[in-house]
Amino acid sequence: MTVGELVAITMYLGPLYQPLQRLSELNLVLANGIAALARIFDLMDQPARVKDHPNAMHIERARGAVEFRSVWFEYRPGKPVLEDINISVRPGQTIALVGQSGSGKSTITKLLLRFYDVTSGCILLDGIDIRNISLRSLRRQIGLVMQEPLLSGTIRENILYGNPAATERQLIEAARMANCLDFVLSLPNGFDTEVGERGCHLSARQRQRLTIARAFVKDPAILILDEATSSLDPESEHLVNQALRCLTAGRTTFVIAHRLATVVNADWIIVLEAGRVVEQGTHEQLLTKSRIFAKLISRQTEHTASTVVARQQQPLRSYRAVGS
C-alpha cells in the first residue's frame, strides 16, 4: 500500500464511522419510544369506571333543575370528600359554591358531569337520576369554563369543540357574544390561527374568552364556571364578566368563585367546609348572619388586593402576555 492509499483510507473511515454511530443512537431513541408507547397504550386500555347504564335514556334538552340528594363521595375508600350534600337548584338559577381550597367545590361539579359516580345518595337532573341518562346526552347539557383553559389546534377548532355541527354564523355570533371577535379578526389568520399547546401565545383573558365562546356555541342548559375569572386582573375581569353575564342568562349556573363580585350576583350561596355544607343563603342573609362567610370574604378581599399589587410589580410579564 502506498502512503497515499493509506492516507485516503484513513480519511474515508471518518465519514463511515459517523453514520454508524448515529445508527446505534437511533436504536436507543427507538427503544425509548417503544417503551413510552407501551405506557400510553396501557393508559388507553384502562376500562372506564363510569359507564352508560344498559337502559340509559337520551335527553334532548334539559330544563336545568339539579338536585343533590344526600350525596356522599370518596375518591379513596374510607376517606369521604363530600358528606351528606343536599343542594336543590331551580332552572335558570345561579348557585355560588364558596369555601377554602380542598373543601370539595370542584368535586361537586365533577360529580354532576359524571366524571365520577357518587358513593351514596343521588344526583337528579330534571328529576331523573343522572346515572340513568346516557353520558353523551348528559354532558351535552353542561358547559364548563375552567380556570386553566386547555387549547390546541386552531381558534375555530377550539370554539367548535363545544358543538362541531355549528354553522359559520353561529361561530361568529358566539365569538361576538364572548367579546373575542375583535381580537380574533385582528390575528393574521383570523379563526384559522393556530393557538398551540395550551394556547401559549394568547393572553389569559383571550384564552378565557375563547372558552366562553366555546360554551356559547354549545348553548348548554347548565353551566359550570370553575374559578373562571380568578387568573385575570380586575380590568380584564370586567370584560370577561360582561361576557359571562350574557352566557349565564337563562341557564342553571354553578359558579365557583374566589371573588366577591361573582358571588354577590348569585341567587344562592353555599359555603363548604371540609366536604360539608356549613352555611347557605343569599348574599345579604349570609353577610348579616354568618361568621364563616364574612371571614372567607374578608380573606379573599385581602388576597385580591395583594395579587393586584403583585401584578403591578411585574409590568413586563403582563405586557408580554398580552402583546405576544
Ligand X SMILES: Nc1ncnc2c1ncn2[C@@H]1O[C@H](COP(=O)(O)OP(=O)(O)OP(=O)(O)O)[C@@H](O)[C@H]1O
Amino acid identity of residue 253, one-letter, is T
| Residue 103 found at the interface with ligand X (CB under 6 A) | yes
Closest CB 19 distance from ligand X, rounded Å: 48
Which one of the spans 14-22, 101-109, 153-161, 280-288 is the region binding ligand X (CB under 6 A)? 101-109
Strands (E), 51-109: 66-74, 80-89, 94-99
- Cell 341557564 found at: 251
In the complex with ligand X, the residue whose CB is nearer, 113 or 166, is 113
Of 166, 114, 164, 122, the residue nearest 138 (C-alpha): 114
Q: Which is nearer to ligand X, 158 or 227 (CB)?
A: 227
By the 8 A CB rule, do 256 and 73 touch?
no
Identity of the residue, 64 or 104, whose beta carbon is nearer to ligand X in the bound complex: 104
The residue range among 85-93, 94-102, 132-140, 232-240 that interacts with ligand X, by the rule CB under 6 A, is 94-102
Q: Closest approach of Cβ 102 to ligand X, in Å?
A: 4
Q: Which is nearer to ligand X, 83 or 219 (CB)?
A: 83
Residue 101 interacts with ligand X (CB under 6 A): yes or no: yes
Per CB under 6 A, contacts with ligand X among 63-82 are 75-76, 81
Q: Which of 64, 99, 149, 199 binds ligand X (CB under 6 A)?
A: 99
CA 303 to chain centre: 22
Q: Please, what is the Cα angle at 220 between 215 and 222, to 5 degrees?
A: 105
Helix, strand, coil shares of the chain, percent, nearest 5, are: 50, 20, 30
Residue 107 within binding range of ligand X, rule CB under 6 A: yes
Distance of CA 26 to the CA centre of its chain: 39
Q: Minimum Å distance from CB 134 to Mg ion?
A: 27
Of the pair 107, 236, the CB lying nearest ligand X is at 107
Closer Cβ to ligand X, 146 or 322, answer by number: 146
Options 58-66, 100-108, 125-133, 163-171: segment touching ligand X (CB under 6 A): 100-108
Distance CA 293, CA 107 (A): 20
98: which strand partners? 271
Question: What is the DSSP track for 153-169?
Answer: SBHHHHHHTT-TT--HH
Q: Which of 94, 106, 203, 262: binder of ligand X (CB under 6 A)?
A: 106
The site for ligand X (CB under 6 A) is made up of 75-76, 81, 99, 101-107
